[in-house]
């Protein structure tokens, strides 16, 4: 029986085929010519303290509608004022109501590294991300075999982009480390069931070399969880839901950074 992840990827592939038909790869690649070099997100995430990757997120398969976010640029600017290290932009349309236009709007609004967060299965999507000014891409180990994961990592590296390589269990963590990932995100949400287990990061973090940037994803409801993840060894947290529904995104980011400093 197909998992939630399988169903999402099926939709992603269908939408991707439509975009490829409208804009062939060679034309997309030409759009990247002469673009400014990507920002070095990894270097910024390695700075002392707990970094926050703040997310532009309208909805999710598990919670449904979260926030309308009529102006992604304004939200990203608020995150920047709060001290976010990077901005994550969900671009998947069917389950998250995101778009590549959101990515463009955020890129134009802030000078921070911008992450394209999507279900990346094709080199075309990497070129799309770069053409829209993304500095980082998300690669989900559960969605990719080793050959495709390595290929997407290599392409992103050639384009100067940082890969946030996402894992959910011990086997995926080992795969990511063995393939040379240097920024590894532990998603505490099981993408097959959508359940969150907040102890997943603490269980998997020891498997990730200290030379890597360790990112905790999902389950951050506020400063308490930020501090919990920081104490478990997180260099950064990726936060969406809590910030978009919290009422004051700048203050929300700031409070999490402060809590992380108190590890």
pLDDT at 262 over 80: no
The active-site residue out of 42, 51, 57, 88 is 57
The active-site residue out of 92, 128, 166, 225 is 166
Q: What is the pLDDT, as a whole number, of residue 224? A: 94
pTM, two decimals, is 0.96
The active-site residue out of 92, 128, 172, 217 is 217
Query: H/E/C letters for each residue in the chain?
Result: CCCHHHHHHHHHHHHHHHHHHHCCHHHHHHHCCCCCCCCCHHHHHCCCCCEEEEEECCEECCCEECCCCCCHHHHHHHHHHHCCCEEEEECCCCCCCCCHHHHHHHHHHCCCCEEEECCCCCHHHHHHHHHCCCCEEEEEHHHCCHHHHHHHHHHHHHCCCEEEEEECCHHHHHHHHHCCCCEEEEECECCCCCCECCCHHHHHHHHCCCCCEEEEECCCCCHHHHHHHHHCCCCEEEECHHHHCCCCHHHHHHHHHHHHHCC
**Overall number of domains in the chain:** 1
> In this predicted model, what pLDDT tens digit does every residue of 191-243 receive, in sequence order?
777 888 889 999 999 999 999 999 999 889 999 999 999 999 999 999 988 99
Based on the residue annotation, tell me whether 63 is a catalytic residue of this protein.
no
Q: What is the pLDDT, as a whole number, of residue 2? A: 81
The active-site residue out of 188, 218, 225, 241 is 218
Q: What is the pLDDT, as a whole number, of residue 143? A: 95
Q: With CA atoms as reference, report the closest residue to 237 among 228, 248, 249.
A: 228
The active-site residue out of 88, 97, 187, 188 is 187
Q: What is the pLDDT, as a whole number, of residue 68? A: 87
Based on the residue annotation, tell me whether 93 is a catalytic residue of this protein.
no
Based on the residue annotation, tell me whether 60 is a catalytic residue of this protein.
no
Mean pLDDT throughout 47-69? Answer: 89
Q: What is the pLDDT, as a whole number, of residue 194? A: 80
Phi, psi angle pair for 209, to nearest 5°: -55, 145
> In this predicted model, what pLDDT tens digit does every residue of 157-196 receive, in sequence order?
999 999 999 999 999 999 999 999 999 999 998 877 788 8
Based on the residue annotation, tell me whether 192 is a catalytic residue of this protein.
no
263 pLDDT band, cuts 50/70/90, is low
The active-site residue out of 55, 92, 172, 241 is 55
Give the CATH number, domain containing residue 49: 3.20.20.70
Instruction: Please provide the average confidence, as pLDDT, over all residues in the chain.
Output: 94
Based on the residue annotation, tell me whether 57 is a catalytic residue of this protein.
yes
Q: What is the pLDDT, as a whole number, of residue 210? A: 93
Based on the residue annotation, tell me whether 117 is a catalytic residue of this protein.
yes
Based on the residue annotation, tell me whether 188 is a catalytic residue of this protein.
no
Domain that holds residue 171: 4-261
Mean pLDDT throughout 150-156? Answer: 98
Least confident segment among 108-112, 117-121, 218-222: 218-222
The active-site residue out of 88, 92, 117, 128 is 117
């Amino acid at each position: 029986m197909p998992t939630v992840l399988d169903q999402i990827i099926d939709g992603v592939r269908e939408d991707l085929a439509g975009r490829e038909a409208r804009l062939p790869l060679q034309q997309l690649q030409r759009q990247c010519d002469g673009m400014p070099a990507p920002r070095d997100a990894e270097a910024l995430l390695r700075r002392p303290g707990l970094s926050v990757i703040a997310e532009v997120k309208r909805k999710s398969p598990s919670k449904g509608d979260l926030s309308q976010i009529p102006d992604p640029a304004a939200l990203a600017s608020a995150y920047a004022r709060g001290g976010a290290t990077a901005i994550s932009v969900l671009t998947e349309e069917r389950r998250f109501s995101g778009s590549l236009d959101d990515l463009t709007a955020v890129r134009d609004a802030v000078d921070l590294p911008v992450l394209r967060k999507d279900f990346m299965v094709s080199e075309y999507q990497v070129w799309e991300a770069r053409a829209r000014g993304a500095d980082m891409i998300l690669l989900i180990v559960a969605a990719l075999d080793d050959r495709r994961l390595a290929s997407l990592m290599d392409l992103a590296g050639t384009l100067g982009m940082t890969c946030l390589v996402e894992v959910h269990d011990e086997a995926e963590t080992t795969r990511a480390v063995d393939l040379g990932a240097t920024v590894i995100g532990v998603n505490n949400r099981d993408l097959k069931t959508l359940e969150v287990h907040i102890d997943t990061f603490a269980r998997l973090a020891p498997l990730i070399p200290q030379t890597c940037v360790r990112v905790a994803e999902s389950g951050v409801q506020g400063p308490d969880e930020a501090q919990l993840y920081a104490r478990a060894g997180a260099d950064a947290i990726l936060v969406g839901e809590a910030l978009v529904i919290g009422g004051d995104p700048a203050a929300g980011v700031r409070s999490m950074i402060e809590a992380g400093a108190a590890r």
